[in-house]
Structure 1
Amino acid sequence: MTRENLTKIPRPGKPVRGSRTGQPIMVLFDLLGRRWALGILWNLSGEVLTFRELQSRCDSVSPTVLNTRLKELRTAGLVEKAENGYALTQAGTALNQHLEPLGDWAAGWTRSL
C-alpha cells in the first residue's frame, strides 16, 4: 500500500464520508462501509484464516480488494498477521462482540419483511 493510499484510511479528526469533523463513530462507519470490510471481520471471528481461506469465505472477493481491505484493517488495529494467516486483534474481537447483537437484530428484522 502506497503512502498516498494510507492517507485514505479513515482517521478520527479528519473528514470522512458523512462527517467533516471525523467523529469516531463516523470514522468507524466509513471503514466498515468499505467493500468486504465487515465480511472479513465476520469471517475472522474466532479463527485464524489464510489469505486463500478468507478469499473463499468472502465469496471469492478479488485478491486486490482483499489485500487492500486487510491492509486497511491492519492499519486500523482490527486485524493482524498471525503465524498461520490473519486474525482479529483484541480491538477487532471487541468490535465483533458489539456487532454480534446487530447480527441478531438483523435476523429478526429480515423475518418481518
Structure 2
Amino acid sequence: MTTPMPGREVRGSTTGRPLMAALDLFGRRWILRILWELQEAGPLGFRPLQQRCDGMSSSVLHQRLAELREARLVEQAPGTDYRLAPLARQACAALAGLSQWSESWAAELDGLDGGESTLR
C-alpha cells in the first residue's frame, strides 16, 4: 500500500486533490493516534510510542511511521526519537476544530436520545 500523497490517486478519489490524500492518510488505522501521542508527549522512542498506542504491533507501527515520514509529518534523525514535523503540527491545529465540532455533535445526539449516552 502506498502512502497517500497530493497529486496521486487515493482511496475514494482519482483527482489527486490534497484534501482527499489527507483524508485517506488520516483515515488509516493508528495514524491519528500516533500523531496525537507525539503531540501530547513530545518526541518519543519507538518502544515508548508503541506503549502509548496500547501496544500496537511493532510491524504496524513501523509501517505507519514510514508512511508518516514519507508524508513529511514525522521526523526522526538516525538514533533519535520520533517527533512531529511542522506540517504535522499544522495538521493537529487544523484537526482541533474538527475535534471541537465532534464534541458538539456528540452532545446534540446525546440530547436526542433522552440523555442516556451510548456514544462514550
Range of TM-score over shorter length: 0.7 to 0.9
Counterpart for residue 74 of structure 1: 69
Alpha-carbon distance between aligned partners in 2 of 1:105 and 1:98, rounded to the nearest angstrom: 12
60-69 vs 95-104, greater mean Cα deviation: 95-104
Counterpart for residue 108 of structure 1: 104
Gaps of 5+ in 2: 111-120
Root mean square deviation of aligned Cα: 1.6
Pairing partner for 2:48 from 49, 53, 56 = 53
Length, aligned pairs only: 107
18-27 vs 96-105, greater mean Cα deviation: 96-105
- Residue 52 of structure 1: CA displacement? 1.1
TM-score normalized with structure 2 length: 0.81
- Residue 14 of structure 1: CA displacement? 1.7
Higher relative contact order (CA 8 A, sep 6+): 1
Counterpart for residue 94 of structure 1: 90
TM-score normalized with structure 1 length: 0.85
Would you say 1:20 and 2:25 are equivalent positions?
no
